[in-house]
Structure 1
């Protein structure tokens, strides 16, 4: 039987001692990553060459730390964790040279977006039980959600991260591949909030058009609303703006106090507390959107279509439009596509990707005529053949019937 690799992210409940160790490892990993970026930048400006992660790791351990006693604290955490941070920087530089991404950025402490890598040192490390996980150097740590990760899974690697005073473990596990049935029995789940219905699947193909007005419109007529237009999300976003303004005022106040002090610097006082409040709201918004994407994908997959067709959206290009960039970013189309691909693979459903230049919205799903003068403001598609249909539904039907595509 084939083995399937799957990633999980779950919140953990570490003890105070374990929290200290996590903070220490994350802090050292962030410092080493930033040091590698700065060192490489300096070397490149002087000698026009790139220092690989392996060479920097050797120099750091054999020359820099022995000659700088004040940096001995780097050795207080796992050497594999620091090496992984360096190799992450190495990958960032290589992506930059390939022009796949921009120049590597320094990791800021206030953003707390650095993950700490906890390497497997022996067979008992990364052992999974229903309610806890054994993390290297930390020992047994309780999980906040029981039974989410299969206990018979083999963990290949794992990292620990912290956001807004909450701790998470991300692991890659190897599971036995469960064979799925291609039965015609399926359901479309949902309620009045999501626009999902309960019905029997017809096992036909399904076209999905992603957008801003509606998150997704399926060729069978089911619509998934834009979660960002709900009162709950708008209320949190409004509160987030208030907390961000408070944080900005605290930073401005800190600058003024520092100017008035001749020696030393003013304390940061409650800035870190305010940063945590902002992070908490960001995390809450992210959780709402991710949860909605999970439910949407679940509802689509449960219909058991013979295939699913989506458009290969150039999100990076669309993001250049300053009027739409924020709305598109909050929709998290890439996350939806990634999770849909994963679930289609698990359920033996063919996922078709249509070229981004395919005129799905401008083509009449009835006669095939292309309406070149169709505007974004035209929400109803009207064709000379007599077809009057919602433009997003028309696009999803065209995607379903598309003849040219690639298999994801």
Structure 2
């Protein structure tokens, strides 16, 4: 039985010829057009309380190509057009699963110019990549080598606002293997005005942090913060962006999947900062400007280290019984600081 390998994306700069640039420009435009047409059709159906799936939009695409107005869709490879319909399906799946907002239309000026090709629409031989509808291979700057014997599954081509071309190659990487199991676990507090704080007492920069966390710990407990909603608050937007919490979480999740680790998300309303990690008593208030505090039990805490310890403890406890936590809206004095709710386990 063949070992299962991790898929990784390798991104490179490339320099298209005039003919390739023209072909890509047509493809980017067609991808955007098909996405918007399908989104409009699904939105109209949604208004009638009817759901439209990928297969139905694929049939619509066949019909659009037969009209005089949209006949130009036949001039580019059909694969990127089918792929954008698949991406739209994923967007709706996330919307219905309450993991994302309603899909938005693509703008000619603001949206990312990109196209995705699967194996039937590209050829990769002897280190040269040729896309469908192109006579010559792309002039790619191989800034780092692909894994030995890499078999590409998808190729994504994009262009940034400055007109620079990039190609992202998705392939299996045999060098990434699950790590030996370890009993270590760690909790992470999301700092809004500084870098993340660990339950071990360290504030750590993002660079290489995720790799170290995954290598050293079997279980990583984080807060399930609604970063997108919080960024709407102008006073917090810059701090959250600087802390790069959403990026940290995303990288942790896919590296944990690579190496056989577990990421547990604790409910965002758990009072990690207001709960004493020593005695369990709950403070009524803990303003953001308060960085250290002394509990009634006599323990003095660094706010963020205390929060990270609580996040770790409740994540591990909830992991045992398969439930997460939410705070009770009660005052201190012996009453429970939490109640059970379904725990979120990240893939």
Answer whether TM exceeds 0.5 for this pair: yes
Name the structure where strand makes up a greater proportion of residues: 2
- Report the secondary structure of 1:324's partner residue: helix
Residue 298 (1) aligns with residue 211 (2): yes
Contact 1:365/1:398 (CA < 8 Å) preserved in 2?
yes
Q: Summarize the Cα distance change of 1:157–1:366 in structure 2 as closer, same or farther, 3 Å threshold.
A: same
Q: Summarize the Cα distance change of 1:136–1:353 in structure 2 as closer, same or farther, 3 Å threshold.
A: same
Alignment of 1:334-373 (within 5 A): 334-373=246-285
| CA distance in structure 2 between the aligned counterparts of 1:386 and 1:44, rounded to whole angstroms | 58
Contact 1:81/1:116 (CA < 8 Å) preserved in 2?
yes
Count of aligned residue pairs for this structure pair: 316
Alignment of 1:152-301 (within 5 A): 152-164=149-161, 165-176=163-174, 178-182=176-180, 204-224=184-204, 293-301=206-214
- Report the secondary structure of 1:214's partner residue: coil
Match of 1:120 in 2: 119
Query: Deviation at 1:396?
Result: 1.6
- Report the secondary structure of 2:112's partner residue: coil
Query: Deviation at 1:210?
Result: 1.4
Unaligned runs of 5+ in 2: 320-344
Query: Deviation at 1:389?
Result: 2.8
Query: Deviation at 1:10?
Result: 0.7
Contact 2:231/2:240 (CA < 8 Å) preserved in 1?
yes
Match of 1:20 in 2: 22
Alignment of 1:125-136 (within 5 A): 125-127=123-125, 129=127, 133-136=129-132
| CA distance in structure 2 between the aligned counterparts of 1:71 and 1:352, rounded to whole angstroms | 47
- Report the secondary structure of 1:401's partner residue: helix
Name the structure where helix makes up a greater proportion of residues: 1
Q: Summarize the Cα distance change of 1:341–1:65 in structure 2 as closer, same or farther, 3 Å threshold.
A: closer
Match of 2:33 in 1: 31
Which of 312, 317, 327 is the matching residue for 1:404?
A: 317
Deviation per CA, 1:138-173: give whole Å up to 9, x if none: 453344343353132222222211112222223332
| CA distance in structure 1 between the aligned counterparts of 2:312 and 2:49, rounded to whole angstroms | 52
Contact 2:188/2:308 (CA < 8 Å) preserved in 1?
yes
Contact 1:3/1:177 (CA < 8 Å) preserved in 2?
no
- Report the secondary structure of 2:317's partner residue: coil
- Report the secondary structure of 2:209's partner residue: helix
Match of 1:191 in 2: none
Which of 117, 134, 137 is the matching residue for 1:140?
A: 137
Unaligned runs of 5+ in 1: 185-202, 226-292
Q: Summarize the Cα distance change of 1:9–1:20 in structure 2 as closer, same or farther, 3 Å threshold.
A: farther
| CA distance in structure 2 between the aligned counterparts of 1:41 and 1:397, rounded to whole angstroms | 45
Contact 1:112/1:162 (CA < 8 Å) preserved in 2?
no
The root-mean-square deviation of aligned C-alpha atoms, in Å, is 3.3
Residue 4 (1) aligns with residue 5 (2): yes
Match of 1:88 in 2: 87
| CA distance in structure 1 between the aligned counterparts of 2:58 and 2:267, rounded to whole angstroms | 43
Q: Summarize the Cα distance change of 1:106–1:312 in structure 2 as closer, same or farther, 3 Å threshold.
A: closer
Query: Deviation at 1:321?
Result: 3.7
TM-score by length of 2: 0.76
- Report the secondary structure of 1:172's partner residue: strand
- Report the secondary structure of 1:354's partner residue: strand
Q: Summarize the Cα distance change of 1:99–1:306 in structure 2 as closer, same or farther, 3 Å threshold.
A: closer
| CA distance in structure 1 between the aligned counterparts of 2:106 and 2:82, rounded to whole angstroms | 16
Q: Summarize the Cα distance change of 1:31–1:389 in structure 2 as closer, same or farther, 3 Å threshold.
A: same
